[in-house]
Amino acid sequence: MRPGAWQAHPARVVVGGFAAAVALGTALLMLPAAAEDGRATGLVDALFTATSAVCLTGLVVVDTPTHWSTFGELVILGLIQVGGLGTMTLATLLAVLVARRISLRMRLIAQAETKSIDAGDLRRVLLGIAGTTAAVEAATAVVLAGRFLIGYDVTPGRAAYLGVFHAVSAFNNAGFALFSDNLMSFVADPWVCLPIAFAVIIGGIGFPVLLETRRALLGTRAWSAHARITLVGTALLLAGGTLLVTALEWRNPGTLGALPVPSRLLAGFFHAVMPRTAGFNSLDMAAMQPDTLMVTNILMFVGGGSAGTAGGVKITTAAILLLGVWNEIRGRPDVTLGWRRVPEPVYRQALAIVALGLSLVSGAVIVLLSVTPFTVGQVLFECVSAFATVGLSTGITYDLPSSAELVLTVLMFAGRVGPITLGAALALRTRTRRYDFPEGRPIIG
């Protein structure tokens, strides 16, 4: 590899930035001051927690409120915020605010992280990201802090701390909570569940769509194909997920069956939102029906919008593949969306992302089945949750051996960075072939 090739490729710098954040977080969480009992946390547990925070997953191998001290919780909160903004996006924002100018290389690096199409608009995009993040997190924190203060008899300082922590965790789709049962104690409280759910939705839509929505509402720009796919897909998945979860769990005494009707509807909606990919839970995941867990697996794997805080393969990826199948069935050579033709490289990229995602999850499932006593359903749920950076679990994470924790750590990192970005970061250089091979047509099906 030629000198400086690693630093010159924006995708590689993004991967390196996230890896550096994970390494720093691991070192800080291993400090005795980060643990409640004053003893150093082991390397594997600290690495798993730091990766889960930076990659906005929310899976935990130790109980967050009882194991970590206030310092440890603040480290996790900082890692969540850094992971949400994107390591390179945060660095570029600092360059904008301090130096008031951005080099071309910094533009390319941030463009790779934010997936901004026009590098010339990068300054406005990044300032929009910072403003949106601050506004949503502040509004959510105020509502939550007020509710904790008024409804749960906590001190003003504690209420503010709880509000800020859960607001940041929600908007960044992280799923970390400062309660041992996550949010199960608030299953019937709309003043806690709904602000968190709305923050998750806004963060999971993706920054480009949020900025485009603002322009469209002001009448300065028409909806793009990407925005239409993301918004329509989000609405369909939320509505469909709510209906399916509520119907499948309606009479389950371990989940919705024990709640009054309004609380059942609230909990059904909340659970449909969380696989988008936040990881908060107000219901006991271990008590859910197998069919509900399968629906949750699908929602988690699809995830949310591109260039946001959600994980998964993304709504646009799944939509492009479904459109490709539909057009193939109809005998059409191109993938079309309304009156627009989807470029062939985009379709190939979507296919590659899904194929790599399925391969990573399948490989992790095989490894975990060989080192743990858990069922296929439990292990599959855990692996999909890790890859899609969701954080939901049926309760087996605490009992995983170190080898399984390391597998899920790799899966979380790959899921956050993205299979395509990770592959590009590891490639030595882009190769172009100046010739074509003769066609060979294998029989398909």
Mean pLDDT of the chain: 85
The 8-class DSSP code of residue 119 comes to: G
pLDDT score, position 441? 66
Using pLDDT thresholds of 50, 70 and 90, give the confidence band for residue 126: confident
Give the model's pLDDT for residue 428.
42
- Determine the pLDDT at residue 422: 56
3-state per-residue secondary structure call for 146-171: HHHHHHCCCCHHHHHHHHHHHHHHHH
- Whether 161 and 298 share a structural domain: yes
Last residue of a domain, one of 114, 133, 151: 114
The average pLDDT across 37-57 equals: 95
Task: For 139-165, write each residue's pLDDT tens digit.
Answer: 999 999 999 999 998 999 999 999 999
Q: Give 65-95 pLDDT, tens digit per residue.
A: 999 999 999 999 999 999 888 755 655 554 5
Task: Give, in degrees to the nearest 5, the angle at Cα 443 between 438 and 445.
Answer: 145
pLDDT > 70 fraction of the chain, expressed in percent and rounded: 83
Q: What is the enclosing helix (H) or strand (E) of 94? A: helix 87-99
pLDDT in tens, 266-291: 999 999 999 977 889 999 999 999 99
Structural domain that includes position 244: 123-312
Structurally, the chain folds into a number of domains equal to 3
Domain co-membership, 255 together with 290: yes
Q: Give Cα separations from 417 to 58, 292, 294, 400, 435 (angstroms).
A: 16, 28, 25, 24, 32
**What is d(CA 303, CA 184) in angstroms, rounded to the nearest whole number?**
23
Do residue 241 and residue 339 come from a single domain? no
Q: Are residues 107 and 146 in the same domain?
A: no
User: What's the confidence (pLDDT) of residue 426?
Assistant: 47
- Residue 295 phi/psi, 5° resolution? -60, -40
Query: What does the pLDDT read at residue 124?
Result: 72
Q: Does 12 have pLDDT greater than 80? A: no
What pLDDT score was predicted for residue 442? 80
Region of 58 please: left (phi>0), alpha (psi -120 to 50) or beta.
left
Residue 39 has pLDDT above 90, yes or no: yes
Helices 419-426 and 10-29: angle between axes, nearest 10 degrees: 100
Residue 346 pLDDT? 77
Residues 99 and 163 in one domain: no
Identify whether residues 44 and 158 lie together within a single domain: no
- 305 and 340 share a domain? no
Could you tell me if 160 and 289 lie in one domain? yes
Does residue 244 share a domain with residue 185? yes
The answer to the question of residue 438 being in a domain is: no
159-178 mean pLDDT? 95
pLDDT tens for each residue of 314-366: 898 899 898 888 888 888 777 777 677 777 777 888 888 898 899 999 999 99
pLDDT at position 372: 95
What is residue 216's predicted lDDT score, i.e. its pLDDT? Answer: 74
pLDDT at site 220? 62
306 vs 419 pLDDT, higher one: 306
Whether residue 278 is found in the same domain as residue 164: yes
Using alpha carbons only, what angle is made at residue 37 by residues 32 and 39, rounded to the nearest 5 degrees? Answer: 35
The dihedral over CA atoms of 391, 396, 399, 400, expressed in degrees to the nearest 10, equals -70
pTM of the complete model = 0.88
Q: pLDDT value at position 218?
A: 73
Cα separation, 7 vs 98, whole angstroms? 23
Closest CA to 278 of 170, 428, 359, 421: 170
324 and 204 housed in the same domain = no
